[in-house]
Amino acid sequence: MKKRIALISEHASPIAAIGGADTGGQNIAVAELARHLAALGYEIDIFTRWDDRRLPKTLNWRDGIRIIHVEAGPVTFIPKEKLLPYMTAFTKDMLRFIKAENNRYKLIHAHFFMSALVAADIKQKLGIPFIVTFHALARVRRIHQGRNDWFPDEGFAIEERVVAEADQIVALCPQDRDDLINLYQADPGKITVIPNGFRPDEIYPLDKLFVRMALKLDPKEKIILQLGRMVPRKGVDNVIKALGYMRSKHNFEARLLIVGGESDEPDPGITPEIGRLQKLAKAEGVSDLVTFVGRRTRDMLHYYYSAADVFTTTPWYEPFGITPLESMACGTPVIGSNVGGIKSTIVDGKTGFLVPPNDPVLLGRRIIELLSSNKLMMYFKENAIRHVNESYTWMKATHLTANMYERIATQSPLRAEDEDDSLSYIDDSFEALIETIEKSRRKIRLATLDSAQAIYRSLARGGKVLVCGNGGSAAEAQHFAAELVGRFEATGRRGLPVMALTADTAFVTAWANDFTFEEVFARQVEAYGQPGDVLVVISSSGQSPNLLKAIRAARKREMFCIGLLGKEGGAAGELTDINIIVPSNETSRIQEVQLHVLHVLSHLIEQQIMADDQNVIQITEEWSISQFQMAGLSGKTADKRKIRHESTKCDR
């Protein structure tokens, strides 16, 4: 039985165009959370306000995800600051939908304070527990924006009520958690810190020269990128002032690309903030250095991140900030404000720099420092890619969220007394395995074939295969070696030189005890590995230090590296030549599919080796017969010799 979850995001639809005044990080967060929850087996309904009659009331968006457009006020765009009066209608329409479909939601996850108001009212009527991610807190926003904050004052009381009534609160960063406790007296036991993330299959580094050619940018120019919503609090004016300081005080010039706005063209009539920034650029004497690009689709963003030398983001405040993650994922260092979520995602002096939010002079100096040192830029680039892939992916965020859901759902009074948890678990586990296998079949078949061919080529040239892993993966490594040294399906084939590094328990325990467990596999690779050999690492996460060091040791010995991984590949996925990444975040599902992949590899390798051995035998027989014939032996005698040869043939 699949678990149905309701997400509420009253103004931030997952299908809205990103980059406008009311569309940004929350839209992305809701979309990605829904996508990844569905991949884990949840059924997701996203409730968002209906603002376009061209869209159906119920949209089957993706497998396992529906978007429910709720009638709340006129079916047209309304700024989010003016939506609060329509939340009563939103609640009524959502209740009608729930009752009409007889849906038994395990829980509701509300995004933003108005969605949380709806969730709190529904909890009162139906008893459904709810979780809230605020994305921005009214008191914090008012502190930083003052009169520029146009949300009604009623938001303060609503947030206080929601904090008290929510079953759990998601804080996006440590600062968010502190604000909830200090400004709202939130119960620390009800707060879970779960940062937003990025998708490695969507945001990844591209060759700088290639993307600059594709975007028609000067390949030699120093480029600063500013990307995001075009609103005053994002601090784009701070970057323009820094550009003016750099030119006037240091005679240092760089191109500033500003991506964002309400339209594909940078139209001040549609996006007033662009007009204000254009005037500022002129006043600072840098109009010729500033290029307003307009809004761009998400599939183009990693082109801009990769084309830039540095990404700047200096808002007055920022509850989290997804764009710094995306920039670092593309290997572009970030200079960001030392506020909110940004100060927790950027590692100052390692993946970029942190600066005060309104200090264009210091910002300009940091930009010059970074752009003047290729060594520093490369250092930041390598650290940035590693940092975000280890800590800030949507898969990791979703795994943490799902754990929280299960914790809340098990405490819910909605659980039926006759619900058989054990049988439900068995059914769900089979369904999850079947779903993972289906996804794997589509996604990893080519990588599996490439891996089999790489191992075969090494063995055919006289090379060998080293295999390693930890825990359950160690058992799978030994299983794989046993299949190839012994036999998998084919009888009569020769043994193949495949060694499971975990099998040498005397060495592993001695080296781990006397030196460090992180070096045990690397040490064996140094001892046994030769150029042209293959190293296979098996891991459900791809993060184990001893595996990473083994791969680096194999690289030094010019070995070919294959990763049989899960959970998006982890750090190991960046180091191996071929990745077979099982598309799941559950360790048990990953290991089950990995064992199947090892059996498939064994079959493919074995069949190719057998075919080669038969070819050698056939060639040897033909050569022997021809020699007999040349010696004047009769065909009958030759046939007898052939029979004798069959009885004594051996593998090459």
471 is in an annotated binding site: yes
In what helix (H) or strand (E) does residue 581 lie, and over which residues does it extend?
strand 578-582
Residue 26 marked ligand-binding: no
Torsion of CA 315, 316, 321, 324, to 10 degrees: 40
25 annotated as belonging to a binding site for a ligand: no
Q: In this structure, what token pair is assigned to residue 100?
A: 């009409």
**Could you tell me the CA-to-CA distances from 106 to 402, 571, 594 in Å, in that order?**
12, 35, 32
Residue 462 assigned to a binding site: no
Distance, first Cα to last Cα, the chain: 55
> Is 103 annotated as a binding-site member?
no
**In the 3-class helix/strand/coil scheme, how is 307-337 assigned residue by residue?**
HCCEEEECCCCCCCCCHHHHHHHCCCCEEEE
Which stretches of 38-105 are assigned E, i.e. beta strand? 43-49, 58-62, 65-70
Q: What is the secondary structure of 494-551 as a DSSP string?
A: PP--EEEGGG-HHHHHHHHHHT-GGGHHHHHHHHH--TT-EEEEE-SSS--HHHHHHH
Measured CA to CA, the distance from residue 403 to residue 347 in angstroms comes to 27
User: In whole angstroms, what is the distance from residue 171 CA to residue 132 CA?
Assistant: 9
**DSSP bridge pairs for 536:** 467, 562
135 known ligand binder:
no
Asked whether 309 and 218 are in contact (CB, 8 A), the reply is: no
Count how many Cα atoms sit within 13 Å of the Cα of residue 578 in the half-sphere of its side chain. Answer: 20
Considering only CA atoms, which of 106, 20, 19, 97 is closest in space to residue 58? Answer: 97
Q: Could you tell me what percentage of the chain is helix, strand and coil, using 3-state DSSP and rounding each to the nearest 5?
A: 55, 15, 30
- Show binding-site residues for Zn(2+): 479, 483, 591, 599
- Show binding-site residues for substrate: 470-472, 483, 513-514, 544, 591
- Show binding-site residues: 470-472, 479, 483, 513-514, 544, 591, 599
